[in-house]
């Protein structure tokens, strides 16, 4: 299992657009994925579950990845959670 932390940098947090992009990437991973935030945890198989974590700008999360290629995929998830999805960025 690989673990990492990430800090949400998007101005509006993880709303519909970023959550859809993150879930889209998670669909390609065959192992177990878990994200834990201040208000709970989810397994990244549902955009609604991810939205329910209420991840605003500055929120810190813990990412756990278990499966084939877990280290590389964990790094990819950290990049996605820390990406500025706002258009244009502020």
If you search the block for the tokens 């990430």, which residue do you land on?
6
- Of the residues 15, 21, 34, 57, only one is catalytic, namely 15
At 13 the three-state DSSP class reads coil
CA angle, residues 66, 69, 75, in degrees to nearest 5:
85
Question: In this structure, what are the phi and psi dihedrals at residue 81, rounded to the nearest 5 degrees?
Answer: -70, -25
Annotated catalytic residue 15: yes
The first and second tokens of residue 53, run together, are 């974590």
**Active site positions, annotated:** 15
């Amino acid at each position: 299992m690989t673990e990492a932390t990430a800090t949400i940098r998007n101005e509006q947090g993880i709303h519909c657009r970023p959550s859809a992009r993150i879930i889209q990437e998670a669909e390609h991973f065959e192992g177990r994925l878990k994200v834990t935030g201040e208000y709970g945890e989810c397994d990244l198989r549902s955009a609604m579950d991810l939205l329910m974590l209420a991840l605003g700008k500055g929120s810190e999360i813990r990412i756990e990845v278990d499966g084939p290629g877990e280290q590389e995929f964990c790094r990819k998830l950290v990049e996605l959670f820390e990406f500025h999805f706002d258009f244009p960025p502020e």
